Amino acid sequence: MVPRWAPISILLILATGVGGQAKPSNNMFPQWSHDGKQIAFTSDRDGDPEIYVMNADGSDQRRLTNSKGRDAHPYFSRDGKRILFQSPRANGEDTNIYVMDSDGSDVTQLTTLKGFAGVPGYSPDEKKIAFMWRKSNDFDDGTKWLIAVMDSNGGNIRVITDGKSEDQVPNWSRDGKRLLFYSDRSGKNQLYTMKTDGTDAKHLHASDANDNAAFWSPDNKRVSFVSDRNGNSDLYVMDADGRNVRRLTNTKTIERGGVWSPDGRRIVFAADGEGPSTIFVISADGSGLGRLTN
């Protein structure tokens, strides 16, 4: 059983089929388009995880990729014309970062790294891409997750964390000067920010809980994240300085991160429990919970 505080590394393993095939009809890793009209996500409804897109109300769900590899973690370009994603399609072993047109055509491989490179995201000016990288596919060998930044064409890759801790899921600030991420450097998964060269790391909110999968609001004034501080993996929001923590969900399901809509009014997230992973949307004040996938 996956623990309720499971870090993104475990979820990545499950999403890519390492250690067993994913269950049917899992829908996960949702990401808004920048105009707020569409949501890209990963689903295994057709046999293995592929990239899909749907309207923001859950309608018109359609598949974009069709590969023997497991495609996951889509991220829209600002103009909505391209989508970043991760896939092991090149050799079936090493997961790398790709970009495609938003209709699924013209797929281009951006990295050729060994191990597992994924969860990519464009900087606000789209000149850079931040991602997380593990230099091994053996998830029992103690290799740490690193955070790296590269040019948007895949060149000039720079690892910006030291590999002493598990540093995961980088998320750009609106001005492109800092990255939000989570790390176990304090002994538990906690939230941090740092400059895009890896310096000036700041502990955002200290607690006895495991906090992970954090995302800045569009105005950078708030942060959404998942925490087990109340005994279950629920969705929370706090001010960007770590104050005013508020719980948004209180369910028996296990929430898996929450991404803000471009207008900052809604948060889309995936949740699972005894059944498959399902995508939900909720207002930023915790009201209006709605289901987008079955």
What CATH class does 8-291 carry?
mainly beta
Give domain limits for the chain: 8-291
Nearest by Cα to 217 from 186, 248, 184: 248
Tokens 């890759």 locate to 157
Q: In what order do the strands lie in the sheet with 72-76?
A: 72-76, 82-87, 96-101, 108-109
Query: Quick one: tokens of 24?
Result: 């049917």
pTM of the model: 0.91
Q: pLDDT tens string for the chain (294 positions)?
A: 333 334 444 444 444 444 444 445 899 999 999 999 999 999 999 989 999 999 999 999 999 999 988 999 999 999 999 999 999 999 999 999 999 999 999 999 999 999 999 999 999 999 999 999 999 999 999 999 999 999 999 999 999 999 999 999 999 999 999 999 999 999 999 999 999 999 999 999 888 899 999 999 999 999 999 999 988 899 999 999 999 999 999 988 899 889 999 999 999 999 997 789 999 999 999 999 999 998
98: Cβ–Cβ under 8 A, 6 or more apart, which residues?
Answer: 84, 85, 86, 87, 89, 107, 108, 109, 110
Count other C-beta atoms under 10 Å from residue 26's C-beta. Answer: 22
